[in-house]
Amino acid sequence: MSADRKADIRPGRLTAEAYAAHFADHVPPLTDAQALLEASRCLYCFDAPCTRACPTGIDVPSFIKRIAEENARGAAETILESNPLGGFCARDCPTEVLCEQVCVRNVQQGRPVAIGRLQRFAVDRLMASANNRIFERAPSSGRRAAVVGAGPAGLACAHALARAGHTVTLCDARPKAGGLNEYGVATYKTADDYAQREVEWLLAIGGITLQLGWALTGADQLEGLCRDHDAVFLGLGLADTHRLGVPGETLAGVVDAVEFISALRQAPDPGTVPVGRRVVVIGGGMTAVDAAVQSKLLGAERVDIVYRRGPQHMRASVEEQNLARIRGVGILHWLAPVEVLGEGGAVTGMRFARQQLGAGRLAPTGEECVLEADMVLKAIGQRLGNPVLAQCGLALREGRIAVDESGRTSIPGVWAGGDCIAGGQDLTVDAVAHGLRAARDIDLQLSIARTRSGK
């Protein structure tokens, strides 16, 4: 690092009070009175549009009516029956593009019923109650299943299989279970260690052995799993990220956004997490928004999201873009990375080429610009990046695992779901839906097998 110009990346930019305020619940829980009032806005729609819009098909009008009737426990039962991770989804679902987008109250009152917040209210009530168990495990079936990946897809699958009486081994490469619930989703959506509390609640169903620090790295391991179990579910998520592929990518201060967020999620105190004074985030999705907003919350002075296409092409919803702007993040469009600029091995800025759409294709206009930066966060998408899967003979599609409508892969006895499969929405709730769908199919296959074998 050169002596004359030092990149300004450091922790402790704010007071302890500011950190505490910045990383608290960004949507506060509803009080009893608020929940009752909000619940009374639900019309108990016939064939409710909100339920259809929920990937896990939660019976929204039923659970909301139960809240209105002061039966929060019954409400939580309705929710968790369809989605055992309903507590987490209530916190991180982009409801504005799911259930709440289609709520009929939008049309009439310009404001949907706050389904997500009500869902959280009900599940929180249950979790805080003296007896928060609602599911009973079926008698042991004597069948064994292996679930690789303890993210939302794997957790949902393992829970449903265990509930059906099967014995489950749940493995994950990381030191903690939860997947991106634990390592990825924004801090202010998961306050109070909710991810771990939920994992504990899920595992308490019994019949699940959690094996952490176990990575699937060889084809022989998958073969072994298949040999020792009646079914295998892969919920591996996307372990790798895309590279920028421009000069300067290895300079100090160029950081993967997912890793940056993961470090923040794991830090016992956000005040210990280093952040640049000026941060440039490359990308246009949820990860870019989360990385940018959290950089700002960590005390970065100037944060810009830079995206190579227009606002309408961003994967982050309009609400998320607005959230970013409200938190003081700038969003620049039509700029593609050309080079990361550095001095003495550290980032000083980044050069971009202005883009335009010509005949549906992105092309440079010839104009260039430079943004100063101490830190560059790369959020240009994740990918499977696990060579083992192809080696095992798993059919892939669009770089992810190909499955049928029940979640079956090309290898008999192996199911998959969540971000690692092709055709999903890359959302927590979608991963849960995949896990449950596979569990239903596995359970069905195992009971058919049992009937056949007369056991």
Ligand X SMILES: Cc1cc2nc3c(=O)[nH]c(=O)nc-3n(C[C@H](O)[C@H](O)[C@H](O)COP(=O)(O)OP(=O)(O)OC[C@H]3O[C@@H](n4cnc5c(N)ncnc54)[C@H](O)[C@@H]3O)c2cc1C
Point out which residues bind ligand SF4 (CB under 6 A): 42-45, 48-50, 60-61, 64, 103-105, 113, 115
Residue 185 interacts with, from ligand X, ligand SF4, other proteins, none (CB under 5-8 Å by kind) = ligand X
Cα–Cα distance measured from residue 291 to residue 338, given in angstroms and rounded to the nearest whole number: 21
How many degrees, rounded to 5, is the angle at CA 100 between CA 160 and CA 77? 35
Per-residue x/- track, 228-267, ligand X (CB under 6 A): -------xxx-x------------------x--x------
* C-beta atoms surrounding 15 within 10 Å: 11
Answer yes or no whether residue 226 interacts with other proteins by CB under 8 A. Answer: no
Residue 409 interacts with, from ligand X, ligand SF4, other proteins, none (CB under 5-8 Å by kind) = none
Residue 86 interacts with, from ligand SF4, ligand X, other proteins, none (CB under 5-8 Å by kind) = none
Residue 416 interacts with, from ligand SF4, ligand X, other proteins, none (CB under 5-8 Å by kind) = none
DSSP 314-371: -SS-HHHHHHHHHTT-EEE-SEEEEEEEEETTEEEEEEEEEEEEETTEEEEEEEEEEE
According to CB under 6 A, which one of 38, 100, 124, 172 is a site residue for ligand X?
172
Q: How far is the CB of 42 from ligand SF4 (least distance, A)?
A: 3
**Which stretches of 236-332 are assigned E, i.e. beta strand?**
240-241, 254-256, 275-276, 278-282, 302-306, 330-332
Contact in structure between 290 and 264 (CB atoms under 8 Å): no
Q: How far is the CB of 53 from ligand SF4 (least distance, A)?
A: 9
Q: How does 231-267 read in b/e, with b if 16+ C-beta sit within 10 Å?
A: bbbbbbbbbebeebebebeebebbbbbbebbbebbee
According to CB under 8 A, which one of 21, 24, 43, 448 is a site residue for other proteins?
43
User: For residue 327, what are the CA distances in angstroms to 15, 59, 67, 140, 303?
Assistant: 18, 34, 33, 51, 10
According to CB under 8 A, which one of 11, 49, 274, 364 is a site residue for other proteins?
49
Contact in structure between 310 and 333 (CB atoms under 8 Å): yes
Answer yes or no whether residue 47 interacts with other proteins by CB under 8 A. Answer: yes
Residue 93 interacts with, from ligand SF4, other proteins, ligand X, none (CB under 5-8 Å by kind) = ligand X
Question: Of the ranges 47-55, 163-171, 329-337, 391-399, which one interacts with other proteins (CB under 8 A)?
Answer: 47-55
Both tokens of 422, joined, read: 């092709």
Q: How far is the CB of 70 from other proteins (least distance, A)?
A: 10
**Under rule CB under 8 A, which residues in 87-146 are in contact with other proteins?**
104-105, 107-108
Cα–Cα distance measured from residue 270 to residue 267, given in angstroms and rounded to the nearest whole number: 6
Residue 37 interacts with, from other proteins, ligand SF4, ligand X, none (CB under 5-8 Å by kind) = other proteins
According to CB under 6 A, which one of 141, 169, 428, 445 is a site residue for ligand X?
428
Question: Of the ranges 70-78, 166-174, 243-251, 272-280, which one interacts with ligand X (CB under 6 A)?
Answer: 166-174
Contact in structure between 267 and 261 (CB atoms under 8 Å): no
Contact in structure between 276 and 296 (CB atoms under 8 Å): no
Cα–Cα distance measured from residue 173 to residue 216, given in angstroms and rounded to the nearest whole number: 8
Both tokens of 230, joined, read: 């009646």
Per-residue x/- track, 66-95, other proteins (CB under 8 A): --x---------------------------
SS3 content of the chain, % helix, strand, coil (to 5): 40, 20, 40
Q: How far is the CB of 64 from ligand SF4 (least distance, A)?
A: 6
> Which H or E element spans position 291?
helix 286-297
Q: How far is the CB of 57 from ligand SF4 (least distance, A)?
A: 12
Answer yes or no whether residue 148 interacts with ligand X by CB under 6 A. Answer: yes
Cα–Cα distance measured from residue 323 to residue 296, given in angstroms and rounded to the nearest whole number: 12
Instruction: Point out which residues bind other proteins (CB under 8 A).
Output: 36-37, 39-40, 43-49, 68, 104-105, 107-108
